[in-house]
Structure 1
Amino acid sequence: MKTILVIVQHRKGRSPGQRFRIEHFLPYLEERNYNIVFSNYLDEKSDKIFYSKANYFRKLLIAIKAFRHRLRDLKIAKKSDVVFVYREAHMLGTTYIERKLSKMPAVFVFDFDDSIWLNDTSDGNKNLAWMKRTSKTADICKYADLVTTGNEY
């Protein structure tokens, strides 16, 4: 049985793009005996805090927890056949996780469906826009074995 590690930000059913780009394929893959490991780091409670205004300390804790979650994902990736990353492995400017994935035997698939290389920050996080590094999209494309996109850009 082949294992696919799916790295996303949101829980299942939360993000329209995520649902369209990967979630609706999961039952099909599972029916064909693929083992799907779905890894998201924002649960419903964290999601509300993360997209709210202020709450900076709690957002910092969420970012740290999310990074630790991704470090655990690296262990899973070592045992996976395919690693599918939707948009980015972590919300901050680092590509550390993607660089590590590029050195593993699993096929690293990077998928995005928006102009994520532009600086578009949610209203609740405008004051934290400086922490994003939109140029990381180009770097992740270089690290990936396969890049799939779904936009007109």
Structure 2
Amino acid sequence: MAKILFLTPYPTNSAPSQRFRFEQYFSFFKDENIDYDTLSFLDEATWKIFYQKGFLLKKTLGILKGLLNRHLLLLKIHQYDKIFIHREAAMVGPAYFEWIYSKLFKKEIIFDFDDAIWLKDVSNANQNLSWLKFPDKTKSIIAYSKTIIAGNTFLSNYAKQFNANVYVIPTTIDTNYHYPSKKTISDTIKIGWTGSSTTNKHLELISDVLEHITQTYSNVKIIMISNQPIISSKFKLKFVEWKQSSEIEDLSQIDIGIMPLPDNEWAKGKCGFKGLQYMALEIPTIMSPVGVNTEIIEDGKNGFLASNKNEWISKLSALIESKELREELGRNGRKTIEDNYSVNAHKDFLISLIKH
């Protein structure tokens, strides 16, 4: 039986990038003769405050604890056949641990990443710790690894500069968990967005659009699902605090899902996860035509792409005014997820990369 160690930034079952890239596959491992352990860099206490402003001492102690645990791992690393690293072994410093694992201990590394992490992107809450980030180490981690799993083609093309053994597996949806529910009949149309404090700024990109829509349609409400609200003077919104226990129920109240993005290099590395969630729940979706979004959405068939204010307004208006269009795009979106972005569609390939 193969034994794999998963090294992650965050505790198990806490961060979407981990949950939807590989943790949701753990339930299949026993039948595939794969034994595994997980070891996060941040512990639960540090994770809970890490993206909040302040708490500098607690964050520093949490980082030091993570570094200590990564060193202590060297005492038992011989137990594992392979090391699966999501994003980086340590959230600070150069590719020190990856070099030790691959060069000194001769361990085979599977490296998985789902963002353009070679670019510096530091949350507003942790600007004072930005000097500890070494985004340029990504190319070294890729070079040290045996197998690279990239979340989209843009990321894959970057990785292929440093390693030929690169495979694309998109962020996937468990279609049994993300299952559409029957909506309550209502005259109110809810336009919804989900994200976190690090991506709240993306919703603000279309604040003028949402102001226009809420002024034009009195029956439209804006729903924001996040761990932290934004304060908008241009439009009213209902803030729903994100909770894993109610995430599907909260998303299911949305009638139209939106995913605005800036057109920059960091955004091109995103894996379209918000849109995938909406589509899996048969929520008609509008996304910015940035990066992988143009591969996910066939404009007008399984969703809409909107690149400017006029397109956002016209496509939102079309969905607001037509229940039939919402239902049609919702059904087609769900079919896209089942065929191309579901756990079932990619399970066998991911397991084969881990085993072989």
State if a TM-score over 0.5 links the two structures: yes
Equivalent position SS for 1:90? coil
Question: In the TM superposition, what is the alpha-carbon distance from 1:24 to its structure 2 partner?
Answer: 1.4
Measured against aligned partners, the alpha-carbon deviations of 1:103-152 in whole angstroms (never above 9, x if no partner) come to 22332111101111111112210222122111010111111111111124
Aligned residue number for residue 43 of structure 1: 43
The Cα RMSD (Å) is 1.5
Equivalent position SS for 1:10? coil
Checking the alignment, whether the CA contact within 8 Å between 1:30 and 1:36 is kept in structure 2 is no
Measured against aligned partners, the alpha-carbon deviations of 1:46-104 in whole angstroms (never above 9, x if no partner) come to 11232221222221111110011111223333221111000001111221110011122
5+ unaligned residues in a row in structure 2: which ranges? 155-356
Aligned residue number for residue 139 of structure 1: 140
Question: In the TM superposition, what is the alpha-carbon distance from 1:16 to its structure 2 partner?
Answer: 1.1
> What is the identity, as a one-letter code, of the residue corresponding to 2:151?
G
Question: In the TM superposition, what is the alpha-carbon distance from 1:3 to its structure 2 partner?
Answer: 0.5
Aligned residue number for residue 9 of structure 1: 9
- Higher RCO (C-alpha 8 Å, min separation 6): 1
**Paired residue total:** 153
Q: TM-score, normalised by structure 2?
A: 0.41
Mapping of residues 100-115 of structure 1, within 5 Å: 100-103=100-103, 104-115=105-116
Q: After TM superposition, what 4+ stretches of structure 1 lie above 3 angstroms from structure 2? A: none
Mapping of residues 1-153 of structure 1, within 5 Å: 1-103=1-103, 104-153=105-154
Residues 76, 27 of structure 1: alpha-carbon distance in 2 compared, 3 angstrom cutoff: farther
**Structure 1 CA distance, aligned partners of 2:122 and 2:71?**
25
**Structure 1 CA distance, aligned partners of 2:11 and 2:30?**
18
> What is the identity, as a one-letter code, of the residue corresponding to 1:44?
E
> What is the identity, as a one-letter code, of the residue corresponding to 1:118?
L
**Structure 2 CA distance, aligned partners of 1:50 and 1:101?**
27
Identical residues among aligned pairs (%): 36
> Which deviates more, 46-55 or 92-101?
46-55
Q: TM-score, normalised by structure 1?
A: 0.91
> Which deviates more, 116-125 or 38-47?
38-47
**Structure 2 CA distance, aligned partners of 1:130 and 1:111?**
24
> Which deviates more, 4-13 or 101-110?
101-110
Question: In the TM superposition, what is the alpha-carbon distance from 1:34 to its structure 2 partner?
Answer: 1.5
5+ unaligned residues in a row in structure 1: which ranges? none
